[in-house]
Amino acid sequence: MPKYSRLLLSASFIGAAIAPSFAGDGAGRTLWVRLDPAAVTAKSKVGQQFATTSSIDRKSGTLKLNLKPGISIDDVVAKLAKRREVLEVRAGDGVRFSHRDDLRSVSMLSEWIEKLGGDEERQEKHKKFDPKNEEKEAGTEYLQALKQYIKVRAYPYDRIDSEAYNRGIQQAAQMKAAKIGTSTQTGDVHPLVAGIGGKWKFVGPNNLNTPYRVYYGLRPSSGRVNAIAYDPVNTKTIYIGAPQGGVMKTTDAGVTWTAVGDNWGFNTVSSLAVDPKNPNTVYAGTGDFQGLVGAYTMGVMKSLDGGATWTNVGRSNFGSSSVSGIVVDPDNSAIVTLTTGRGPDGVGRVWRSVNGGTNWTPAINVLASWSSLSYGPADSSGKRSLYAIGSGGNLYRSDNSGAAWTKLTSPVANSTFNLPYIAASAVDSKTAYILSTQDQKIYKSTDSGANWTDTTGSFPGGYNWSQGFYDWYIACYADGGKDHLFTGLIDVVESPDGGSTWQPVGLTYTNGAKTHNDQHSFAVNPKNPKEVLMGNDGGLYMGTGGAGNWTITGLSANLGITQFYNVVWHPTDKTKILGGTQDNASPVSIGNLSKWENVGGGDGGFCAINPTNPNVQYVTIYGFTVIITKDGWATSTDISPDTGSDASPFVTPIFQDPVRTRYLYGCTNYLWRYDLTTNTWASHLGGTQLSNGSLIHVVTVAPSNGDVIYTGSDDGRLFVSTNAGASFRSLNGPTLPNRAITSISVDPANPNDIVVGLSGTGSAHVMECTNTSVATPQFVNKSGVGSSGLPDVPVNVIERDPSKPTKVWYVGNDIGVFSTGDGGQTWGNATVPLGLPNVQVNSLSANARTGLLSAGTYGRGVWQIGFGTSAPLVPSGYSIMTGSFVGGNVQSLAADDGNNLVVSSATVTGLGQVAAEVSTFTVPGTGTLNALSFEVSVASSTQAATEQLYVKNWKTGAYELLKAFPGTTTRTTQTVAVTGTIANYMSSARKIELVTRALVPSSFGTNSFRLSIDRTSSAATTSD
């Protein structure tokens, strides 16, 4: 639990907490504003532009504003509600605004998790994952994931700053495009890889399998579908809306899908409507109303050409509220009505346009979280009823297309969290239905909403109701002269007789599941009531056949809207990818990008692939469940530790050690380490809590020194260990902004040089420290400035270019990918200009061996773009060198296989060097060499011996030392990249020479020894 709670405010806001300062003040022109404790001192001037006088009680964190004449109280409240440091606003006539309804508040989510699931800490602790127990844990799963998501982005505040996101997408649209080429222009990206081209390419998941049938149904799966709409004329044309996938369109009934509108600022969609009289006119309501995330909203997008082009409307009216529902008047296409809610103030309004969305006015000017609206059929006079429903018992009906409204008595309790949903009858002008997940009931009215009766009856409830704040709808269509009802909760349930009887359709939480769980959207074919579409966390499903006889088919094979928390890639094979997702377990491509498998279960989390033995892979499931495979998922084993009283995360971060590859790091508020060789976990490395009751978010091991380990947490704490985790030292100081730390990139040649990625808003997002070994490390802002700087949105990952690691960096943030070619002085937009939609990017990998920059997104799956033509190099010749070499004579003591140099002797006397291998490589193609790397695995029987790598500089004729490996009895693997003027290391005949030398000091005496150095792979990148 946090130290303060917004739920506690409502009972005492005007009571004793502020009475010492403000008791007796009149109500008329006075507002009291409650501030976030973190902002009381710094933000005490909030609202002064509206007030003649103001004062603050710092003890209670309450600000009093006496408003200037002529200023509307409601306007002031609306403006204050957008500021994340404002918790609540109260006038003399009651609460005008409170974050009780704002589920982007960390403290509010904590309250609800505890209310729904009992002790929050118990809910978030590790328990061995079992699909049979998933039902018992449902109800808080999504909220726990959402809390973790928001906490990282809000810190040090309690909620996300929506306005910063809007400014961020506007800036991104004005930025220069990242350049493809080898120049040092802004946003330098390296040359193309054959078959990819100069644009991002979607690579999956395609035809994604499910990990098991219960809760997931059958293949194919993809990601959450918030909205569905048929083309009323050509019913093979279907539109779907996704939470961060935008609008997808099919013209062949779901066989293939095309993204429409990828150049939108936010690709978030809560609702869709197609004009019944003009099927090329499509409306998309933005935001993620179902997912309770309101940071990514921009009003309504309207298309007049079936999604080919779009115009933004209503943005200035709806602000940061999600558009939860849209209806076009069936008789007059100019009249469009919509509902908004779950915005920054937790509420919205009902809006109406009489000119096709060009202008909007409040139709119901009542602040609430309005969840849905529905037209009924025309009566004998041609009149239709339009219903709208929302939080707080708000229920209204209009009989003149939304021009005027009558408030009805709602049968639903005063709900703010579990919102109701309404559907008008399709056959009777006076009948309507309400789904209330708070009451766990379905209500029916046959007198235009004047009275309501409970028609829940035999509805299959229980667990089905458990996430009514997240998955809920009711829909109605005419079938054989009757109302056929569909409801979506955890499962899909139908009533073919207007609510008299009910039966399950999806069988979602049984071993015979036909659909994925967590239902969000529904549509019926306007020409065929025996065909319906259902959208849920797994994607889109078509039902055919009719009541009680539905055949269900998945339509998501090529949908491409998977929400990845984390993605990792095979070190050499671009067709092998592994990731963890929101409610779609852990998709894995095992060499076939057109057909993905699925492992793990539940919500997947962070993943890892061992770089020296890629058959060893790890996935996580919520609550620090860790699954390992040692044979590429032919078999797997649960290796989860018991984290005890640690603050275990819902989405568990794990990280592969790139140097000592037997190690895997796992995160709570302490650092854990798994040893593959012993199958054991070491807990609480260094005995140091590396997050102050919060969570470690990132762990990075220095590639050049496995003893150096960095950690960063979601409460802004940065630590380093220089002794392999035996102890840790804080690197925090005045030059590092206080934001959640999401990424740490270490210079491959210098373990003390790091670049740190920061989440949140209102600060720099990329900071560099060139020497972390000093007592007070200094961090320098590398976020750029102005139009060439990074947008002020959370950064999730930083990746270095392998050929220019000190200058060329790639950043994945909440709106896409950005790159710099000058070490952070200037940045370019590598998102929409290069073919990637504006989507949250959580993972990046720049792989010199494949020549690919790969991105894992939270809403549009996995993408790749080439930054160089790259291929593994195989020696075209090799030999054992004799004679002199770099200051000594060479003596050959062992044969060689051209790949693995093994040197051994019974005795050695007075030798400074004992053997050297020359490997020659021929680089294919005609392009200029711009990257060169070697992966080596080394071991020795004595610490007195040393292995060395040299590469020939053809311009000078000299052999230059790349790396020296001190003798160690533990085999280690490292990737060694050539730096400097790369072209000098390839001859005119396109030859590269690598020398491997074994060195033993003359003082070694007559001791015996054995050394081996295995060049496991090599790669060159050229600008073909």
The 10s digit of each residue's pLDDT in 741-789 is: 999 999 999 999 999 999 999 999 999 999 999 999 999 999 999 999 9
**The two domains 162-178+196-204+731-870 and 209-554 share their CATH topology (first three levels equal):** yes
Q: What is the pTM of this model?
A: 0.82
Which of 291-295, 329-333, 576-580, 853-857 has the lowest average pLDDT? Answer: 291-295
Tokens of 228: 């569905």
Of 273, 327, 262, 324, nearest to 297 (Cα)? 324
Is CATH 2.60.40 correct for 875-1012?
A: no
Residue type, 107: S
> Is the pLDDT confidence value at 600 over 80?
yes
Which of 76-80, 663-667, 816-820 has the lowest average pLDDT? Answer: 76-80
The 10s digit of each residue's pLDDT in 358-380 is: 999 999 999 889 999 999 999 99
> Is the pLDDT confidence value at 1004 over 90?
no
Residue type, 583: D
Is CATH 3.40.50.970 correct for 209-554?
A: no
Residue 494's pLDDT is what?
98
Topology annotation, domain 27-97: Alpha-Beta Plaits (3.30.70)
> Is the pLDDT confidence value at 13 over 80?
no
143 Cβ contact list (under 8 Å, min separation 6): 109, 112, 113, 116, 469
Residue 837's pLDDT is what?
96
Whether 647 and 669 have beta carbons less than 8 Å apart is answered as: yes
Q: Of the spans 103-117, 656-670, 944-958, 991-1005, which averages the highest pLDDT?
A: 656-670
Residue 881's pLDDT is what?
64
Helix 106-117 to helix 141-154 angle (10° resolution) is: 160
**Band (874; pLDDT cuts 50, 70, 90):** low
Residue 126's pLDDT is what?
40
Is 972 or 673 the better-scoring residue by pLDDT?
673
Residue 66's pLDDT is what?
82
Residue 109's pLDDT is what?
84
| Secondary structure (DSSP) of 179-202 | PBSSS--TT-B--PPTTT-SS-EE
Q: Of the spans 157-166, 346-355, 602-611, 998-1007, which averages the highest pLDDT?
A: 602-611
Residue 178's pLDDT is what?
86
134 Cβ contact list (under 8 Å, min separation 6): 215, 601, 602
In three-state secondary structure terms, 238 is strand
- The 3-state secondary structure of 753-785, one letter per residue: CEEEEECCCCCCCEEEECCCCCCCCCCEECCCC
Of 556, 553, 641, nearest to 240 (Cα)? 556
CA distance 179 to 185: 7
**Band (849; pLDDT cuts 50, 70, 90):** confident
**Band (922; pLDDT cuts 50, 70, 90):** confident
Tokens of 254: 């779901």
CA distance 705 to 609: 20
Pairing of the two strands 654-656 and 637-638: unpaired
Can you tell me the mean pLDDT for 814-829?
A: 94
Q: In terms of C-beta density within 10 A (0-12 exposed, 13-18 middle, 19 or more buried), how is residue 377 classed?
A: middle
CA distance 401 to 332: 9
Whether 992 and 975 have beta carbons less than 8 Å apart is answered as: no
The 10s digit of each residue's pLDDT in 722-742 is: 999 999 999 999 999 999 999
> Is the pLDDT confidence value at 966 over 80?
no
CA distance 115 to 104: 17
Which of 71-80, 189-198, 289-298, 873-882 has the lowest average pLDDT? Answer: 189-198
Residue 963's pLDDT is what?
84
Can you tell me the mean pLDDT for 249-274?
A: 96
Of 19, 40, 288, 311, nearest to 158 (Cα)? 40
> Is the pLDDT confidence value at 444 over 70?
yes
Which of 45-49, 468-472, 571-575 has the lowest average pLDDT? Answer: 45-49
Residues of the chain with pLDDT > 90: what percent?
63
CA distance 1010 to 161: 60
Which of 259-263, 473-477, 571-575, 926-930 has the lowest average pLDDT? Answer: 926-930
**Band (880; pLDDT cuts 50, 70, 90):** low
What's the order of all strands across the beta sheet hosting 991-999? 875-881, 913-922, 991-999, 946-952, 959-966
Average pLDDT, the chain: 84
Q: In terms of C-beta density within 10 A (0-12 exposed, 13-18 middle, 19 or more buried), how is residue 645 classed?
A: exposed
Is 203 or 1016 the better-scoring residue by pLDDT?
203
CA distance 517 to 514: 9
The 10s digit of each residue's pLDDT in 563-593 is: 999 999 999 899 999 999 999 999 999 999 9
Which of 47-61, 165-179, 287-301, 720-734 has the lowest average pLDDT? Answer: 47-61
Kindly list the distances between the CA atom of residue 951 and the CA atoms of 662, 954, 962, 985, in Å, as whole numbers in the listed order: 29, 9, 7, 7
Residue 130's pLDDT is what?
55
Does residue 220 have a cis bond before it (omega within 30 degrees)? yes
Can you tell me the mean pLDDT for 457-481?
A: 95
Which of 97-106, 258-267, 505-514, 1008-1017 has the lowest average pLDDT? Answer: 1008-1017
* 154 phi and psi angles, rounded to 5 deg: -90, -30
CA distance 187 to 808: 8
CA distance 771 to 221: 47
* 791 phi and psi angles, rounded to 5 deg: -60, 150
**Band (27; pLDDT cuts 50, 70, 90):** very low
Can you tell me the mean pLDDT for 274-286?
A: 97
**DSSP code, position 723:** S
> Is the pLDDT confidence value at 134 over 60?
no
Residues of the chain with pLDDT > 70: what percent?
80
In 10 A of CB 450, how many CB atoms? Answer: 12
Residue 180's pLDDT is what?
44
Residue 970's pLDDT is what?
65
**Band (969; pLDDT cuts 50, 70, 90):** low
Topology annotation, domain 162-178+196-204+731-870: Methylamine Dehydrogenase; Chain H (2.130.10)
CA distance 852 to 164: 31
> Is the pLDDT confidence value at 548 over 60?
yes
**Band (610; pLDDT cuts 50, 70, 90):** very high
132 Cβ contact list (under 8 Å, min separation 6): none
CA distance 439 to 437: 5
- Residues in the chain, overall count: 1024
CA distance 337 to 398: 11
> Is the pLDDT confidence value at 196 over 60?
no
Of 1022, 1024, 1017, 1023, nearest to 873 (Cα)? 1017
Whether 100 and 117 have beta carbons less than 8 Å apart is answered as: no
Residue 566's pLDDT is what?
98
Q: Write down the domain spans for the chain.
A: 27-97, 104-117+141-160, 162-178+196-204+731-870, 209-554, 875-1012
